[in-house]
């Protein structure tokens, strides 16, 4: 039996430290599932593990891509599953850690298969979005796949404000000439491992305090200089990220630096709320307070091993 110990929770809660402790205890390696830590040009603003942390346990999918590459969640699913197959050849355990719920789901459950979409369709949808805004995407989805539009509106309304996901829905509808929803739930994705899900949480004030502190540390570490180096490429998808967008607005002259930093903190706090909402949908996750004794988590994992 192979086990994928999966650690989820809001940003700045302590997932990295726990993952290293568990990797050392179970003598296994770590698969990162943070959709922004993949990019080698983004270090400080994505809270990439330190060199000491990277040396404490073997990590995969940390700064292994460039912001100039078109790297999708589907690409990640394929590559990460291949890496897990490799790791499980010599070990019964691996650790999956990350705050990107969509990417965690890709590994644990998999995604439906969609047809290849012509580059011209993708470019046209993107151009129309740039010209007409998010309302164009919302109206297109409402027209082309009204059932799925209604489902999102009811169950996950913030998705309607996510341009990347909305563009994907619309380009599939147009390119395949079928509603996006017709491609959902068509196949069963089998996994050759058993997931054990661990969630870290804290009361809201503690989470917010930890986030504010992390942002201050990032600024002191040189986030401003890192963002300035990336500023010429600010339109790239990878850089539509909290911590960078706000500083780009500062460079544009729209924000003062103090205001930009406060916006980073505010938007990170909002992001942490969305993370918790996403992860708490999974009833199989066992939640622990962030300050719990790690032995309690190890004991829980051992109880769930099938001998």
Please identify which residue in the block is written with the tokens 């460079």: 251
| 10 marked among binding-site residues | yes
| 11 marked among binding-site residues | yes
The token pair at 156 is 């996950």
Please identify which residue in the block is written with the tokens 């390696």: 29
| 195 marked among binding-site residues | no
Q: Partners of 15 in the beta sheet?
A: none
| 45 marked among binding-site residues | no
Q: Which residues fall within 8 angstroms of residue 154, CB to CB, at 6 or more apart?
A: none
**Nearest 5°: phi and psi at 123?**
-65, -40
Q: Is the dihedral of CA 106, 111, 117, 122 positive or negative?
A: negative
| 49 marked among binding-site residues | no
| 157 marked among binding-site residues | no
Burial class of residue 150 (count of CB atoms within 10 Å of its CB; 0-12, 13-18, 19+): exposed
The closest alpha carbon to 171, from 117, 132, 244, belongs to 117
Quick one: residue 133, left, alpha or beta (phi over 0 = left, psi -120 to 50 = alpha)?
left
Q: Which three-class secondary structure state does DSSP give residue 198?
A: strand
CA 79 from chain centre, in angstroms, equals 16
Instruction: Write the DSSP assignment of 23-68 as a string of letters.
Output: HHHHT--EEE--TTTTBTT--TTTTPPPHHHHHHS-EESSS-B-TT
The rounded distance, in Å, linking the Cα atoms of 15 and 22 is: 10
| 17 marked among binding-site residues | no
| 15 marked among binding-site residues | yes
The CB-side HSE value for 119 (13 A sphere, CA atoms) comes to: 1
Quick one: residue 177, left, alpha or beta (phi over 0 = left, psi -120 to 50 = alpha)?
left
| Annotation: binding site | 9-16
| Annotation: binding site for substrate | 11-16
């Amino acid at each position: 039996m192979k086990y994928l110990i999966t650690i989820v929770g809001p940003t700045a809660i302590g997932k990295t430290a726990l993952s290293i402790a568990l990797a050392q205890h179970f003598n296994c390696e770590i698969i990162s599932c943070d959709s922004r830590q993949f990019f080698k040009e983004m270090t400080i603003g994505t809270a990439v593990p330190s060199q000491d942390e990277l040396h404490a346990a073997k990590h995969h999918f940390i700064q292994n891509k460039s912001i100039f590459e078109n790297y999708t969640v589907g690409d990640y699913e394929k590559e990460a599953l291949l890496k897990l197959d490799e790791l499980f050849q010599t070990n019964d355990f691996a650790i999956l850690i990350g705050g990107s719920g969509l990417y965690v789901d890709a590994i644990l459950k998999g995604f439906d298969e969609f047809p290849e979409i012509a580059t011209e369709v993708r470019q046209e949808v993107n151009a129309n979005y740039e010209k007409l805004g998010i309302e164009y995407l919302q109206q297109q989805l409402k027209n082309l796949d009204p059932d799925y539009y209604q489902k999102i509106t009811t169950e996950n309304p913030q998705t309607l404000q996510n341009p990347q996901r909305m563009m994907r829905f619309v380009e599939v509808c147009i390119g395949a000439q079928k509603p996006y929803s017709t491609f959902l739930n068509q196949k069963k994705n089998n996994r050759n491992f058993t997931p054990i899900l661990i969630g870290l949480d804290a009361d809201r004030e503690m989470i917010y305090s930890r986030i504010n502190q992390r942002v201050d540390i990032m600024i002191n570490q040189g986030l401003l200089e890192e963002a300035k180096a990336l500023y010429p490429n600010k339109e790239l998808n990878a850089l539509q990220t909290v911590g960078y967008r706000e500083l780009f607005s500062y460079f544009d002259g729209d924000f003062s630096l103090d205001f930009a930093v406060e916006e980073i903190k505010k938007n990170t706090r909002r992001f942490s709320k969305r993370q918790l909402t996403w992860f708490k949908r999974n009833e199989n996750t066992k939640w622990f307070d962030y300050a719990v004794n790690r032995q309690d988590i190890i004991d829980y994992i051992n109880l769930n091993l099938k001998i």
